[in-house]
Amino acid sequence: MSGVLDVLTGFVGLGLVVVVGYVLARFEVVGPGAAHTLTRIVFYAGVPMLMVTTLEEADLGSVFSAAAVVTIGTAATIAVAFGLLARLSGRTDGSGAVIGALSASYVNAGNLGLPILVLVAGTAAPVVPALMLQLLVMVPVSFALLDRTTGRSGPGIRAILSPITSPPVLGVVAGLVLALTGARLPEPVAMPVGMLADMTVPALLIAFGLSIRGGTEPGDRAPTSIVWSAVVVKTVVAPALALGLGELFGLRGDLLLGVVAVAALPTAQNVFVYAMRYQVHVDLARRAVLYSSALCVPVIVLAAGVIR
């Protein structure tokens, strides 16, 4: 029971930080462009450092396991299927299909994911494959597609290098180098890296609250149908697919519960940051994060009851 209360307390704490951002905007403590400015700071300075500190001590061996195959297969299938169906149905444009696919598949692995997984599965290890897939594949591919659909990257070599030289991806590369070599940052460097990493989540949540008060952002208000499609896929279809694949691969007990819980984790706030960075379909990302965060707890509790 105390574990459940810890997770719920964590949710409440995160929600209160979002409220702080909303109040700052409501009483005009900051200007109307504050959310965009803050997310750019997070994107260029916070997220890369968070990637370094997250991956430098990651257990890379956990990527090569049956549970990892299930986690990666689930996320990849959901992302590709949702993006293609959204685009082919004509319900959104190319950038909307990308943000929608991320909203339906990109899990909150490094924030809410850790305490939830420790609670229900006894370890946070199942989240490592999801984190690796997202940072090494989904982020650069998504940036490449968003560069193409928004025309931000420009022609020639810049278009090729843009997704692989973005700050979050460079942070991933640096973190992987540290993890593979066992090296550690010298203390004068490690301290500011840690400080910037620590500010990422609260700054992101404040920006999220600022954007809620600010109303719709560039890309206008997302159709309710596509928002709820992404949320239902994220909170219901993804964990159901993980359960089926886990059974197929012979997973049982905490291993099976771990992959299902990872799939059911809410849409990561990073998706909101990426939408803000490209100034497209911000409302879709914002609402997907908000709704899936509210729905993931009962879904994971139900999964724990069924599997155990």
Closest-CA residue to 77 (of 110, 105, 57, 100): 105
More confident residue, 252 or 13: 252
pLDDT in tens, 17-73: 889 999 999 998 988 888 888 988 988 898 889 888 877 876 676 656 888 999 999
Q: Domain total for the chain?
A: 1
The whole-number pLDDT of residue 8 equals: 66
pLDDT in tens, 194-231: 999 889 888 888 988 887 776 555 456 777 889 999 99
Give DSSP secondary structure letters for 132-177. Answer: HHIIIIIHHHHHHHHHHHHT-S-STHHHHHTGGGSHHHHHHHHHHH
The whole-number pLDDT of residue 148 equals: 86
Rounded CA-CA distance 170/187 in Å is 20
Q: 267 has which bridge partners? A: 107
**CA-CA-CA-CA torsion for 129, 139, 234, 117, nearest 10 degrees?**
30
All residues at 6 or more sequence positions from 285 whose CB lies less than 8 Å from its CB, including other chains: 99, 102, 103, 267, 271, 272, 274, 275, 276
Rounded CA-CA distance 86/213 in Å is 28
What's the length of the chain?
A: 308
Provide the sign of the torsion angle of the four alpha carbons 162, 37, 273, 112, taken in this order. Answer: positive
Res. 283: pLDDT tops 70? yes
Closest-CA residue to 14 (of 304, 303, 297): 297
Q: What is the domain range of residue 248?
A: 2-307
By the 8 A CB rule, do 146 and 278 touch?
yes
Res. 1: pLDDT tops 70? no
Task: Name the pTM for this structure.
Answer: 0.77
Question: What CATH code is carried by the domain that includes residue 221?
Answer: 1.20.1530.20
Closest-CA residue to 43 (of 159, 200, 158): 200
Rounded CA-CA distance 66/62 in Å is 9
Instruction: Please work out, in degrees rounded to the nearest 5, the angle formed at the alpha carbon of residue 195 by the alpha carbons of 14 and 119.
Output: 40
3-class secondary-structure state, position 267:
strand
Q: What is the mean pLDDT of the chain?
A: 84
